[in-house]
Amino acid sequence: MNNFYQLNLPVQLFKNFDHGDPPGWRARWGDVPPTRWEVARVSVTDYVNSQALSFLDNLGIKFQQESLLFYGPPGAKVFIHTDGDKSAGTDTWSEMSWGINYSWGSLDSDMIWYKPKEDTTVDLHYTAANNPYTLYTDDQVIEIERCKLVAPSIVRNDIPHRVINYDTVNPRWCISLRPVSEFKSWEAITLQIKDYLLNVSDLEFNCHAVR
């Protein structure tokens, strides 16, 4: 099973917002972008077309009113982590198990997924947006897949993953829609939305899977 799929919806998902000045970032960081990898909460309606939200709602797929806006400085990489707090219960964990991501800015970046090595223990942390996550070191995981996301995609967040921005000039922005729906797992959501996912052979990704 893939850890990502490019979406093929019959409606345009994201609005034509100003990619150089994305909505909501100044309210969080002021006029100067941060110097490290950061995240802010922004309004989903500033980024997503209402027709797309209605289409997904008819499939039973609902989203939180706030999305996550990530900023990755040139040449930076985020730590390896999983989203959510699995010990807090199914409902809290499920809201962080997957997301719909759209990135721009950087001309060269990878999203990478890993599997933990046996007997690995991790600690719980919180982002600046108060999202829980568990943190891994490089020697605690084994890479299983990586790709360059070039279009709106559904991505898995409940296994270790990271993003690396190889572009030393341009930052990497990413808007991530997070669910509030009955589809609690990666398997459940990909089955529900399977008719609107591009097949692996059709993917517009430059990807490499490690098996």
Q: What are phi and psi of 42, to 5 degrees?
A: -135, 160
- Mean pLDDT across 179-206: 76
- List residues bridging with 116 in a β-sheet: 141
- Position 124 confidence tier, pLDDT thresholds 50, 70, 90: confident
9 close to 196: Cβ distance less than 8 angstroms: yes
Cα separation, 92 vs 42, whole angstroms = 20
Residue 33's pLDDT is what?
A: 81
Residue 94's pLDDT is what?
A: 46
- Say which range, 73-82, 166-175, 192-201, has the weakest mean pLDDT: 192-201
161 close to 80: Cβ distance less than 8 angstroms: yes
Cα separation, 89 vs 87, whole angstroms = 6
pTM, 2 dp: 0.86
Residue 78's pLDDT is what?
A: 93
Could you tell me the residue ranges of all domains in the chain?
Answer: 4-209
- Mean pLDDT across 109-130: 84
Nearest to 39 by CA among 65, 67, 70, 66: 70
Residue 85's pLDDT is what?
A: 53
| pLDDT, tens digit (0-9, with 9 covering 90-100), for 35-88 | 899 988 899 999 999 999 999 999 999 998 999 999 999 999 999 998 875 555
- Say which range, 13-22, 117-126, 166-175, has the weakest mean pLDDT: 117-126
Q: What are phi and psi of 99, to 5 degrees?
A: -155, 165
